[in-house]
Structure 1
């Protein structure tokens, strides 16, 4: 049975009163910074490749140089972008809620941390670091203009791979556990700019609903989640967040 619906004003009030808030973000929040989605980034020279040809363990084993060229280009693109109003509004919400705030993202662009979010849980990893193939050490990549792939592990000297989750790989257990716990405990959960089709992230909102919490979706397009939540706003991330957090200005 679908939960009772809320008006924007009622949802904004619940958000102001909540002491435990969980947020899940997807590609939609970074679109306003000019970051293309994973598949949209496959343009130009990359258009002839399937996603699995560039983002899978098999692809990397077959041609690590090609895969690193792809990821180095994406790394340059995200570092040239800037956090937008949506990212900054979530920083504002985090300060408002305090310790009970959790930010979970499917994005790998690092924009939440650059906007000032304290400790975002990056379910799919990040383009901003590499992970050693031998010892597993994670280290930040050099600035884009100083980076020539592949990176070399500063601990053992082995080659590093992109520190992202590829097709056929599991999400980091600690990150997934933190996300599930945050949504299970949340009084209010926000699901922003995600299609709600990629599991297990797509199932997080159900944790909040099962526990009796409120779920608010912000997405310009309807998703599989839209009819299950108390409020679904057909807005971009920044506009929807402003309506909830700054109702007098929206």
Structure 2
């Protein structure tokens, strides 16, 4: 296993992985979007290191959403929705690689929609998206801009039902169709690039166990739970690493 701490060498490793791949899949987490101004969760400046009335893990749980909906939406609007964020170099390069052929799928734990904004088409959103907000009564879907313009608990304009973000909260199951599609993509690809995630959130971290292709590359600032399985570990800023 090669461990890389210099950006220039990291770019070389990624370029080689792309050039030698026929079916490349990217699996990313919160670290992909930090260069776009969206904080991650577990780093030194991450969301879980900040002080709130309740722990973020509690406020992002289904039970908290049910018991304290007003507080949930106050936190959600302030910390989980970043409508001003724009794709960074990593998002744009991945969209470019999909357009040129070798990249077949982007698997993301992020809910910000930046991959699609950058131009990626085959994006599997494992934890949902802030850009879909669904009435629990009639099923009408509202955009994030509509939720941000409301106060308190948003209610449907048609039936008056509560509108819930289409994001996977703690205590909620993942969408089985999305998870199955992600598993199929990892199982069939010959190159898997994992980026911006410490691989500690299950069950999505277990997707890496399904990989049996030629090359596994991990790009993350800091160690991950799967470093020992990788062919190369790039301990560098992911946006800079994808600038090739």
TM range, normalised to the smaller chain?
0.7 to 0.9
Question: Distance between the aligned counterparts of 1:221 and 1:41, measured in 2?
Answer: 17
Q: Aligned to 1:212, what secondary structure does the other structure show?
A: coil
Q: Are 2:147 and 2:154, in contact at CA under 8 Å, matched by a contact in 1?
A: no
Q: Which of 82, 87, 91 is the equivalent residue of 1:87?
A: 91
Query: Once the 2 structures are TM-superposed, how far is the Cα of residue 193 of structure 1 from its aligned partner?
Result: 0.6
Q: Are 1:89 and 1:238, in contact at CA under 8 Å, matched by a contact in 2?
A: no
Query: Once the 2 structures are TM-superposed, how far is the Cα of residue 71 of structure 1 from its aligned partner?
Result: 1.1
Q: Aligned to 2:194, what secondary structure does the other structure show?
A: strand
Question: Distance between the aligned counterparts of 1:154 and 1:16, measured in 2?
Answer: 51
Question: Distance between the aligned counterparts of 1:23 and 1:87, measured in 2?
Answer: 11
Q: Which of 162, 166, 191 is the equivalent residue of 2:169?
A: 166
Question: Distance between the aligned counterparts of 2:230 and 2:177, measured in 1?
Answer: 27
Q: Aligned to 1:79, what secondary structure does the other structure show?
A: coil
Distance verdict in 2 for CA 1:81–1:224, change over 3 Å? same
TM-score with structure 2 length normalisation? 0.85
- For structure 1, the residue ranges without an aligned partner over 5 or more in a row are none
Matches within 5 A, 1:94-243: 94-97=98-101, 101-142=104-145, 146-153=149-156, 156-208=159-211, 211-242=212-243
Q: Are 1:54 and 1:70, in contact at CA under 8 Å, matched by a contact in 2?
A: yes
Number of aligned residue pairs: give it. 235
Question: Distance between the aligned counterparts of 1:162 and 1:192, measured in 2?
Answer: 25
Q: Say which is worse superposed, 187-196 or 108-117, in terms of deviation.
A: 108-117
Q: Are 2:104 and 2:122, in contact at CA under 8 Å, matched by a contact in 1?
A: no
Query: Once the 2 structures are TM-superposed, how far is the Cα of residue 241 of structure 1 from its aligned partner?
Result: 2.1
Q: Are 1:25 and 1:194, in contact at CA under 8 Å, matched by a contact in 2?
A: yes
Q: Deviations over 1:77-97 (max 9, x none)?
A: x11222111111111111122
- For structure 2, the residue ranges without an aligned partner over 5 or more in a row are 4-8
Question: Distance between the aligned counterparts of 1:149 and 1:19, measured in 2?
Answer: 49
Query: Once the 2 structures are TM-superposed, how far is the Cα of residue 135 of structure 1 from its aligned partner?
Result: 4.0
Q: Say which is worse superposed, 141-150 or 173-182, in terms of deviation.
A: 141-150
Say whether residues 1:54 and 2:63 are aligned partners. Answer: no
CA RMSD of aligned residues (A): 2.5
Distance verdict in 2 for CA 1:97–1:222, change over 3 Å? same
Question: Distance between the aligned counterparts of 2:60 and 2:200, measured in 1?
Answer: 18
Q: Are 1:29 and 1:236, in contact at CA under 8 Å, matched by a contact in 2?
A: no
Query: Once the 2 structures are TM-superposed, how far is the Cα of residue 48 of structure 1 from its aligned partner?
Result: 2.5
TM-score with structure 1 length normalisation? 0.83
Q: Are 1:18 and 1:97, in contact at CA under 8 Å, matched by a contact in 2?
A: no
Query: Once the 2 structures are TM-superposed, how far is the Cα of residue 240 of structure 1 from its aligned partner?
Result: 2.1
Question: Distance between the aligned counterparts of 2:224 and 2:163, measured in 1?
Answer: 37
